[in-house]
Amino acid sequence: MIIYGKQVVLYVLKNHPNIIEEVMFSKEIENKTFNQFLTLSKKIIKLDNKKAQSLAQGGNHQGFFLKLNKYTFTPINHIKKDSFILVLDGLTDVGNIGAITRSAYALGINSIIVSGIKSIKEEAIIRTSSGAFLDIAFNLYQNNSELLNELKQSGFTLIGATKNGVDLTKYQKVDKSDKVALILGNENTGLCNKIEKKLDLKVSIKMHNKFDSLNVSVAAGILMYNLTK
């Protein structure tokens, strides 16, 4: 698994050096930074520009690359021990998933489940979340309906973000003793009918200026902050 970009590479070096397999640079690095990588006792490779562009697939790599160990998802039974779970149902855009993960970690959310899809690009989410993906419990659960049934059986209240939900400002905040799963739908279509039918509560964000749409990562940040503050 290859990640690139100075900020996220230095984040992994500082916080997760044990998962680094190889270090790669495509430009000269200042001695102080280079010496930090030397302490890993890992192979350091100099890349030519063509190879660097290929690895980054045209992305802004800034000359910094890491090869990481294979990512291991957190088992669902471990995540169910948490009191507040964020469920991203059918989300596919790694930029949105990364931004949501970053906000979730910053706001103290410990667990995220992506449901309704077969796979995600872990290395891309590490990058778009500025490394936060590595510091939060993360699970991939393909069958979204089965997931919600399992969460209900474990005592979770299912709260879904919809356009026709209760105004978030009028909803009583989540108590620390509550077990809550906040569910957000696909970037374009939102939550499907079969998922909405399983919800215990629908919430929405009050809009102004006759505008009725927010980016899902922005909406996620507002909902997480207001439900847990």
DSSP of 23-35 = EEESS---HHHHH
Residues 12 and 30 in one domain: yes
Whether residues 46 and 142 fall in one domain: no
Cross-strand pairs, 159: 182, 201
User: Which is more confident, 41 or 113?
Assistant: 113
pLDDT at 171: 60
Residues 148 and 57 both lie in one domain: no
In this structure, are residues 158 and 152 in contact, taking their beta carbons and an 8 Å threshold? yes
Q: Which of 116, 79, 122 shows the shortest CA–CA distance to 97?
A: 122
Specify the number of domains making up the chain: 2
Could you say which DSSP state residue 72 is in? -
What confidence tens digit (pLDDT) does each residue in 162-216 have?
A: 887 777 766 655 565 689 999 999 878 888 888 989 999 988 888 777 776 788 8
The answer to whether 88 and 112 are in contact (CB under 8 A) is yes
Contact 12, 68 (CB under 8 A): yes
The domain of 87 spans: 76-228
Domain at 158, CATH number: 3.40.1280.10
Average pLDDT of the chain is: 89
144 and 63 in a single domain? The answer is: no
Q: In 3D, which of 209, 163, 166 has the Cα closest to residue 189?
A: 163
Res 30 pLDDT > 90: no
| Mean predicted confidence (pLDDT) in 55-76 | 92
Closest CA to 43 of 57, 28, 23, 63: 23
Same domain (yes/no): 52, 130: no
- Does pLDDT of 161 surpass 90? no
Nearest C-alpha neighbor of 202 from the set 220, 224, 184: 184
pTM: 0.89
| 63 and 80 co-located in one domain | no
In our burial notation (b when 16+ CB lie closer than 10 A, e otherwise), range 45-78 reads eebeeeebeebbeeeebbbbbbbbeeeeebebee
At 138, which helix (H) or strand (E)? Answer: strand 137-141
Do 49 and 107 fall into the same domain? Answer: no
